[in-house]
């Protein structure tokens, strides 16, 4: 039974991964992908998000793809949607204390979340990714926001890692592997092929909120708040790739309290109001 179930999961995942560019891709305003050269660029951008390592092996150090975290083609609410993102950049970001363009933000996910390296702004792959993100932003006014954007993070900063290890084995290991190293149906949660310590997902509040809403993938929403916190505490306590230069993050000293490393400028008072990641 269990084996048949896993086979089914594997087949479904294989279908997802092997399927040609989705002809049903729609912008938030309902419009289809346009024909012609622009449409081809949008479809290539979507394909890169869906198969990032295979598309750009020299830029991806992990076994993750962009859509490992930005679920549902980057369109799913409460699952880090990219809908409207083209309308929200350039933007001041406290982690770098600079104004970042959309390309800078994309590269942060390449370097931190995929444990990889940045693309040149004029790389054709960057142009295609931006074309897809602009497409999923059609109809969102400049500076506008969409429902389910970001994550509703809580305030808890500590969970029970022993209880979390148990939740992991019972609820997560069948897809993410008993050692968290991933499997054919799900990406790694820790270890050398996972996201880096500098990724937003390495922070307990981000991980808790993402897991609470979206995992287990086939029964999302079934964990209790405590189970989500404990398993996030366990996952974020495991070893993962370093992010070189992380101590220079939040140079104005406004690092949120759940950043799992020291910064040269220090952390803000945990009682202070949280920043977005």
Tell me which residues touch ligand HEC (CB under 6 A): 9, 52, 64, 66-71, 80, 82, 85, 88, 105-106, 109-110, 113-114, 129, 149-151, 171-172, 174-176, 185-189, 195, 199-201, 206-207, 210-211, 215-218, 223, 231, 235, 276-277
Q: How far is the CB of 272 from ligand HEC (least distance, A)?
A: 18
Dist CA 26 CA 49 (whole Å): 16
Dist CA 125 CA 237 (whole Å): 34
Q: How far is the CB of 39 from ligand HEC (least distance, A)?
A: 19
Output 43 or 171, the one with its CB closest to ligand HEC: 171
Q: How far is the CB of 227 from ligand HEC (least distance, A)?
A: 7
Chain-centroid distance, C-alpha 89: 18
Output 36 or 155, the one with its CB closest to ligand HEC: 155
Output 240 or 268, the one with its CB closest to ligand HEC: 240
Output 39 or 150, the one with its CB closest to ligand HEC: 150
Output 36 or 260, the one with its CB closest to ligand HEC: 260
Q: How far is the CB of 29 from ligand HEC (least distance, A)?
A: 18
Output 33 or 50, the one with its CB closest to ligand HEC: 50
Q: How far is the CB of 82 from ligand HEC (least distance, A)?
A: 6
Dist CA 238 CA 172 (whole Å): 15
Output 33 or 146, the one with its CB closest to ligand HEC: 146
Q: How far is the CB of 232 from ligand HEC (least distance, A)?
A: 7
Q: How far is the CB of 106 from ligand HEC (least distance, A)?
A: 4
Type and span of the H or E element at 180? none
Q: How far is the CB of 189 from ligand HEC (least distance, A)?
A: 5
Four-CA torsion 232, 108, 248, 87, nearest 10 degrees: -100
Whose structure tokens read 């086979």?
A: 7
Q: Are 64 and 187 in contact (CB under 8 A)?
A: yes
Type and span of the H or E element at 91? strand 91-93
CA atoms within 13 A of residue 17's CA, in its CB half-sphere = 19
Output 33 or 211, the one with its CB closest to ligand HEC: 211
Report how far apart, in Å, the C-alpha atoms of 270 and of each of 161, 206, 212 are: 21, 15, 22
Dist CA 198 CA 124 (whole Å): 26
**Residue 82: which of 17, 138, 19, 14 has the closest Cα?**
138
Determine whether 164 is exposed, middle or buried from the number of CB atoms within 10 Å of its CB (0-12, 13-18, 19+): buried
């Amino acid at each position: 039974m269990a084996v048949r179930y896993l086979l089914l999961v594997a087949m479904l995942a294989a279908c997802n991964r092997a399927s040609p560019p989705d002809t049903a891709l729609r912008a938030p305003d309902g419009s289809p992908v346009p024909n012609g050269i622009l449409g081809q660029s949008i479809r290539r951008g979507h394909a890169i998000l869906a198969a990032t390592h295979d598309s750009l092996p020299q830029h991806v150090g992990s076994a993750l793809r962009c859509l490992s975290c930005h679920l549902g083609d980057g369109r799913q609410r409460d699952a880090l949607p990219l809908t409207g993102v083209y309308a929200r950049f350039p933007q001041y970001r406290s982690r770098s204390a600079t104004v970042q363009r959309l390309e800078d933000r994309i590269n942060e996910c390449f370097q931190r979340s995929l444990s990889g390296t940045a693309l040149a702004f004029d790389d054709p792959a960057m142009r295609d990714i931006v074309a897809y993100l602009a497409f999923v932003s059609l109809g969102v006014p400049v500076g506008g926001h969409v429902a389910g954007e970001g994550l509703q993070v809580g305030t808890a900063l500590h969970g029970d890692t022993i209880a979390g290890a148990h939740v992991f084995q019972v609820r997560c290991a069948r897809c993410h592997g008993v050692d968290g190293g991933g499997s054919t149906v799900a990406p790694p949660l820790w270890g050398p092929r996972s996201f880096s310590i500098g990724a937003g997902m390495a922070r307990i509040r981000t991980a808790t909120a993402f897991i609470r809403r979206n995992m287990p993938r086939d029964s999302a929403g079934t964990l209790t708040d405590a189970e989500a916190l404990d398993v996030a505490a366990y996952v974020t306590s495991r070893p993962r790739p370093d992010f070189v230069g992380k101590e220079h993050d939040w140079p104005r000293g406004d690092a949120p309290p759940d950043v799992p490393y020291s910064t040269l400028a220090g952390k803000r008072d945990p009682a202070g109001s949280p920043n977005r990641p």
